[in-house]
A and B are shown apart, each in its own frame.
Chain A
Amino acid sequence: MCEHAGVAQVNARPRLERSRSDRVIGGVAAGVAQHLGIEPIVVRIAFVALTLAAGFGVVSYLLLWVLAPQEVDAGSAPSRPRVLGMPSTRQAMGGGLVLIGVVLLLVVSGFWFSDSLAWPVSLAAIGFAILWARSGEEGRGRWSLEGVMTGQTSLPRVAIGSLLIVAAMAVVLANNYSLAAAGPMLLAAAVAIGGLGLLVGPWAWNVGRELIEERSQRVRTEARAEMAAHLHDSVLQTLALIQRAPESREMASLARTQERELRAWLYGRAPSVAGARLRDAIDAMAGRVERDQHVKVEAVVVGDAELDEHVAALVAAVGEATLNAARHSGETEVSVYVEVEADAISAFIRDHGTGFDPAAVASDRRGIADSIIGRLEAHGGMAAVHSTPGDGTEVVLRLPVTSPRKTA
């Protein structure tokens, strides 16, 4: 949630780091240039010049490459897993020139190995390049397991690349062994490769599938979290503001209901496998009473339990008592507290309203009390109503837990 934009620019002189964005080989020259505050090209020329002096430039370059840390990616994605990225055209050209130089050097100095090795190596290199190189038609520009498995990477390219590599292997074999011996050799190789494929193939395929599955799951989760953060900062704030406005009880209640629903959807716990839970049932009950009676129901649940018929009866009784408080107390807020203990579930429904004298209750309220008390007693529980005129009412419900249904 907290962005640290613009953290850099603090140090007067940047640390010596290999550059990520501007690099020909390892980003050393650009890094040195940035550190010293001069143009990268100057450093590059210096390295070349030093190379002429008994190869000192190459040695120092390699040393710096090893010693200097890579520049931290200040960009968006933090620590993205390293995918095999492709070198830029500049880097490719640089690499090619270095290669040609090395080959020429070897030829001139007489260290050149026979052409019989040079050709297959070149073939294999081209095959490898085709297999891994960036292709225009792909948006992602990267060859990955995912690309092959989901068919994003073109099959012909994979085939041609593989074919070239296999051909290179064949040339090596043919050059070094008599053709007569090549047949059994190839057969043995084919059998070995085929067997290996059968052994490892399905497993590798599954691993790949799981990786893709996991990745897309992560993407979905991230998108959801982002949306939740956004809605949290906008819509929920507005709904809270509307509730603060004292003018209209209906508006406030509407906003509260909307807020509750949005919250439930945003932060929705996965529906439990075993079915409904006590906590969800109490929350749903509180939401219903809030919506219908235009009061605020502050529901607090400690612990949780599965919703069997006994617990469901308790929830119904809690709902009845809450509704009762909302209708008769004259208050705009009702507190509901449910606690799951080792041997029982207790529930308390409290309001700070007008209250009444339990000894002299009117007949209509008698009925409601009966429906709460009677319902609880039918399931082995008990209920009590404490009320004093002018001092609010509290209904206390208690349901013993016989089976081990308590969960943390």
Chain B
Amino acid sequence: MSTAQRVRVFVVDDHELFRSGVRSGLGTSCEIVGDAGSVDEAVAGILAATPDVVLLDVHMPAGGGRAVIEGVRAGGAGGASVQFLALSVSDAAEDVIGIIRAGARGYVTKSISADELAAAVGRIHDGDVVFSPRLAGFVLDAFAGEAPAPIDPELDLLTARERETLRYIARGYTYKEVAAELHLSVKTVETHVSAVLRKLQLSNRYELTRWASERQLI
């Protein structure tokens, strides 16, 4: 995060305590331009403040994080450039996949340290994707095996390189370490991960939805 201007962050969480926790944790590295405790408040606040990155709680009354993303995206030009990083206490597959498919660019759990959170925010701001080992595991699981009948092979299958990249992330490797292992540039690794995120968001692969709804894994 060597950008001259500090990243402008908006915090959405229905727990006041958590909002103030993030405020004090991120205050030095980011500029907190606002926060909100409900879906309606959040949509209005984000459209008014047009932050770079929104830290978004997955679980909230009246639709949760999903509703916020949809509201902002429907709110016109001002909301189009806003990026979302989802935050949750839960690592449940249906939560993770649900919020990613709604449009979030990454997912972290709330137990993350302040430094890690700041790094994740910076990465989202740079247009990258934040994949936790757990999320990489989910994707590998969801795209495991041969697709019964890939409707769109572009979206319904992972390439060998993408699969390899995800396996390293699931093993706890940083992007830099993955790049070194695979003799790629960090940029290429990020491209692979972005491609996987896109597949996760757009694939209609039958198993993806079924898997997410059936599995109650934490």
Residues of A within 8 A of B (CB): 1-4, 232-233, 236-237, 239-241, 243-244, 246, 256, 259-260, 263-264, 267, 269, 296, 298, 300-303, 333-335, 337, 339, 348, 350-352, 394, 408
Q: Indicate if the CB atoms of A348 and B171 lie closer than 8 Å.
A: yes
Task: Report whether B63 and A232 are in contact in the complex, using a CB–CB cutoff of 8 Å.
Answer: no
Contact yes or no, A302 B170, CB < 8 A: yes
Q: Is the CB of A300 within 8 A of B133?
A: yes
Give B contacts to A, CB under 8 Å: 15, 17-18, 21, 25, 59, 61-64, 67, 89-90, 92, 109-114, 132-134, 136-137, 140-141, 144-145, 167, 170-173, 216-218
Extra 15 A-B pairs, beta carbons < 8 Å, given A1-B59, A4-B62, A263-B90: A232-B89, A236-B89, A237-B15, A240-B109, A240-B111, A241-B110, A244-B110, A246-B113, A264-B218, A267-B92, A298-B172, A302-B144, A302-B170, A339-B167, A348-B172
| Cα distance, A51 to B23, chains bound together (Å) | 71
Asked if B144 and A303 make an inter-chain contact with CB atoms under 8 angstroms apart, the answer reads yes
Task: Please indicate which of the listed interface residues A241, A244, A267 has the most CB atoms of chain B within 10 Å of its own CB.
Answer: A244
Which 10 pairs, one residue from A and one from B, show the smallest C-beta to C-beta distance? A335-B172, A300-B137, A240-B110, A243-B111, A350-B172, A348-B171, A337-B171, A2-B63, A240-B89, A263-B218
> How far apart are the CA atoms of A236 and B18 in the complex, in Å?
12
User: Once bound together, how far apart are the Cα atoms of A291 and B210, in whole Å?
Assistant: 34
Asked whether, in the complex, the Cβ of B172 is within 8 Å of the Cβ of A339, the reply is no
Chain A residue contacts of B92, Cβ below 8 A: 267
| CB atoms of B18 and A337 under 8 A apart | no
* Also in contact, A302 and B59, with CB within 8 A (given A232-B90, A241-B18, A394-B171): no
Q: How far is the CB of A269 from chain B (nearest CB, A)?
A: 6
Min CB gap B174→A, angstroms: 8
Query: Which residues of chain B have C-beta atoms less than 8 A from A246's C-beta?
Result: 113-114
Report yes or no: B17 in contact with A241, Cβ–Cβ below 8 A. yes
Contact of B21 among A2, A244, A260, A333 (CB under 8 A): A244
With both beta carbons as reference points, the residue of chain A lying nearest to B110 in the complex is identified as A240
Would you call A2 and B64 a contact (CB within 8 A)?
Answer: yes
Chain A nearest Cβ from B185, distance in angstroms: 20
Name the residue on B nearest A255 (C-beta). Answer: B111
| B-chain residues with CB within 8 Å of residue A243 when the two chains form the complex | 110-111
